[in-house]
Amino acid sequence: MQFAKFFLTEYLDSEQTPWSASAEDYVYPSDYFVVATQADGTPVEFWENTWPIQGRERGISQRKVVYLGYEGEHTETNWGTNLKQSKSILLALDRHAYKSPGTPLGVDSMNRYNLVLQKARKYCYQNNISVFQALSSIEHVKGIHKLCLEQAKSNAAALEDLLPKISMLPFRYLGFKPAVAKFQAPPLSKNTKNDQTLVIPTAIYVELLVEYKKKIANYMEHRGQLQQLAVLISWNNDHGTAPSEDHKESFVKALAHCDLANYADANNITDKKELLGHFGVINYCSAMLIYSFTGMRRSELYSLRLSALRQDIKNGVVISRSLHGFTTKLHKRRKHVDWYSSSDVELPFAAASHVCKTILACNGMFPDDQYVFISTAYFPFSNTVLDAATINSDEPVAGNYEPSRFQRRLTTPTINSADMVELKNVDPLRIWNATSEVNIGNAWPLSIHQLRRSTAIYAIRSGIVTLPALKSMLKHISIVMTKYYSRGSIYAPDILKAFSGKKDSMVALFQESERHVASWQYTNEVIMSEEALYGAHGVWAQIHGKKALLKLNYAERFDETLKRVNKGQLSYRATPLGGCTSNSICTKRITVDLLGCDGCASAVVIKPKLLKLIALQNVTVEACNQGSMEHTAELQTQYELSSFATRLGIQA
C-alpha cells in the first residue's frame, strides 16, 4: 500500500509489534513491551519516556533519541492515559507506517510527530479529553491546529501530515478513527515553486563573514588563557561561582588569574554560563565560515574530525587545501569526500578544533581524532552535563550551532533599500510581501542553507566557476540541482567587487573547485575513455598521453592529472562536442560556431557527444517552419555537423 510515502508493514511474530495482524480489536501495548535497545544492549520498554533509535541516521549531527514527555507536563490522572496514547500512536507509526519497503521512519520524522502529539496533549489537558478523543473529532483537531499555529507553526504542518498517515493504519494498530479535517492555507503561501532559499545580499553577506572572522581572530589571540580558565573551573567548581561566605575564589578572580578581565568585559562573559555560551559562539562562527568557504551541508560539517584539514605542499608552498569528511546525500550511505577551499578555511577550523580540544582537556581525555563540532554540554561546568564516556564514541552528541541559537549574541545586519533591490533582481517572481521577515529595517533572517545557495549564486556569477565545478563543490547528485541552486545568478552583483580588493579567498575557493573538476573530467573523458577519441588532442592523447597513465590506478591517474592542471600544464573544459584543452579564451566557437573545434589543436571530440548533438540538431530542424530563415540556418548547421562526422569517419 503506497500513498504519501506510506507503506503498511505487518509481522508474523510478536517481538516486532505488540499488535496481532489477525486481530480485529485494539489493545494498549504492554508497559513491558521492548520498544528499543540501547547501544550496550539494554532493553528500553514502553513505559519509559526516552526511546533511543539506533542505526537509522547516518549523520553525526542527527538526533538518535525521542524524548516523549515535555517539561512541566501535567501529572494528573489523565496525564498517564494521554501520554500512553501518544506513545501508542508513535509506536504504530514506527512499526507499521514505513516510508518505503524495509525503511522505517527516521528519527527526525518520529521527533516531528512527537512534538505535535505533545501539543495535542496540551490541548487535551485544557479541554479535559483524551488524545484519542481529540484526534477523532474535527472540531478538536482544528483546535489543536490553532494551538500549533500560535505556539509553533512547524507543528501545525506536522499535524497536517500526521492525520492522513495515521488514517491509513488499521484500527487494530491505532485504536481510533482519525478525523478528516481540511485546513485553510495561508492567503499567501511561502511554499510556492518560486520560493527558493533566500540569497544573502552581497553587503550583508560580506558583513557577516567579516564579523565572524573578527570574532574568531580575537578568540585565537586568547585561546591559551581561555583553555586555562575552562580547565580551572572544571577541576574546581568554586572558581565558577559567585563569592561565598567562606571567601572562596570567585569567577571574577578566576578571570583575573587567567588575565582575561578585559576580554571577558568585551565579550560579556560574567559567569560560567556565559563562558559556555562564548565557546558555543566561537564554534558557531567557525561553522558559518566553513559553510561559506566550502559549500557544505549542515550534516557534512559535523562529519569533520580534528585531522580533517589537509594541505598539498610543494617546495614549502601550500598548493591546495581541503577538508576531509563524509556525505550521506549521494548514495544514502557515508561516502568520504574532500571539500577544496582557500586559506580562509584554516582559521575557523583551527578555532573549532581548539574548542574541541579544550572540552577534551577539561574531561582529562586526549583522543587522537575526535569529531570537531561536539556539544559544549560536554564541559564539566555545563548545567546539563553530558556523559563524557560518549565523547570518544562513533556517535558523540553534536552541538546545535544554528543561527536561531547563536546569531542573537552577535550583530545581525539590517536590510536596507539597496538590499531589497538586489533581492528582487535575483528573484523577481517571489511574492516579497508574503512575509514580514524580509523588509527594510529588519534584521536579516539568517539560515545555514542561505550560505550554501549564496555560494552557488556568487560562484556562477563570478564567471570563474562552471556548472560541473559547482556541482562538485556542492556535492550534488545531478547537475540539474546545481542549475536550480544557481537560478538567478545572472542578475546577482559580482561579489568579488564587494570584497573591495580582499577577494583572494573567494577567487581561490572558486578556482580550486574548477581545477579539481577539470582534472576529474579529463581523467574520466580522455584518459579513462573506452571510446575512440577524435580531434587533434584526442588523437594525441590516445597515442601518447594514455600509455604512461594507464599503468597507474584510477586515484594515481587523477592525482597526476590534478598536478598538471595546478602547474598550468593542462587545462580542460567540457564542450558540446567533447572537450577543450586550451587555457586561453576560445574565439573559434564564438565567431564560427560549434565547428570551430574542427582542426583545432586543443580539441577532443567524443563520438557519443557528437552523435547526440546531431540528433538534437535534427529535432531542432524539424521544429522549425520550412522555408523560414531559422529553418535555413539550422539546416545548414545540421549539414555541417553531419559532414564533420563523415570526415572523422563517424557514421551519423
Strands lying side by side in the sheet with 578-580: 533-534, 603-606, 578-580, 573-574
Which residue has cell 582534472? 519
Q: What is the predicted pLDDT for the residue at 417?
A: 93
Distance of alpha carbon 151 from alpha carbon 145, whole angstroms: 10
643 Cβ partners below 8 Å, 6+ apart? none
Distance of alpha carbon 328 from alpha carbon 499, whole angstroms: 33
Q: β-strands 578-580, 603-606: how paired?
A: antiparallel
**What are the helix and strand counts (H, E) for the chain?**
26, 13
262 Cβ partners below 8 Å, 6+ apart? none
Q: Tell me which residue of 380, 120, 132 sits closest to 232, measured CA to CA.
A: 380
Four-point Cα dihedral 401, 326, 471, 340, nearest 10 = 80
SS3 604: strand
Buried b / exposed e across 220-243, counting CB within 10 Å, b at 16+?
Answer: bebbeebbbbbbbbbeeeebbbee
Q: β-strands 50-52, 335-341: how paired?
A: unpaired
SS3 417: helix
Please name the amino acid found at residue 344. Answer: D
Distance of alpha carbon 109 from alpha carbon 99, whole angstroms: 10
SS3 603: strand
Four-point Cα dihedral 585, 587, 590, 591, nearest 10 = 170
Task: Say how far residue 625 (Cα) sits from the centre of its chain.
Answer: 47
Distance of alpha carbon 512 from alpha carbon 525, whole angstroms: 20
In the chain, the largest separation of any two C-alpha atoms, in whole Å, equals 102
Distance of alpha carbon 361 from alpha carbon 358, whole angstroms: 5
Planar angle of CA 383, 384, 386, nearest 5 degrees: 135
Which residue has cell 562513533? 394
Q: Tell me which residue of 528, 441, 453 sits closest to 485, measured CA to CA.
A: 453
pLDDT along the chain (652 residues), means of 10: 62 80 88 86 88 68 75 68 92 87 82 92 90 93 91 86 90 91 58 69 90 95 95 73 46 90 93 94 96 86 92 73 81 76 86 95 86 92 82 84 92 93 87 82 92 81 61 64 68 62 51 64 73 83 63 59 71 81 68 67 85 88 88 87 86 72
| Phi-psi sector, 259: left (phi>0), alpha (psi -120 to 50), beta | left
Q: Calculate the alpha carbon distances from 487 to 149, 199, 426, 513 in Å.
A: 32, 10, 8, 19
* Strand extents, DSSP E, 315-437: 317-327, 335-341
* 533 class by beta-carbon count within 10 Å (0-12 exposed, 13-18 middle, 19+ buried): buried
- H helix intervals, 12-76: none
Q: Tell me which residue of 110, 35, 120, 43 sits closest to 81, measured CA to CA.
A: 120
Which residue has cell 520498544? 35
DSSP 208-260: HHHHHHHHHHHHHHTHHHHHHHHHHHHH-GGGGS---TT-PPPHHHHHHHTT-
Task: Say how far residue 323 (Cα) sits from the centre of its chain.
Answer: 15
Q: What is the predicted pLDDT for the residue at 496?
A: 59
HEC readout, 267-315 = CCCCCHHHHHHHHHHHHHHHHHHHHHHHCCCHHHHCCCECCCEEEEEEC
Q: Is the pTM of this model over 0.75?
A: no
| Phi-psi sector, 633: left (phi>0), alpha (psi -120 to 50), beta | alpha
- Contact (Cβ atoms closer than 8 angstroms) between residue 188 and residue 397: no
Distance of alpha carbon 445 from alpha carbon 423, whole angstroms: 13
Q: Calculate the alpha carbon distances from 7 to 166, 175, 428 in Å.
A: 11, 19, 40
- All cell numbers assigned to 628: 523560414
Please name the amino acid found at residue 346. Answer: E
| Phi-psi sector, 128: left (phi>0), alpha (psi -120 to 50), beta | left
Distance of alpha carbon 87 from alpha carbon 16, whole angstroms: 16
Distance of alpha carbon 623 from alpha carbon 619, whole angstroms: 6
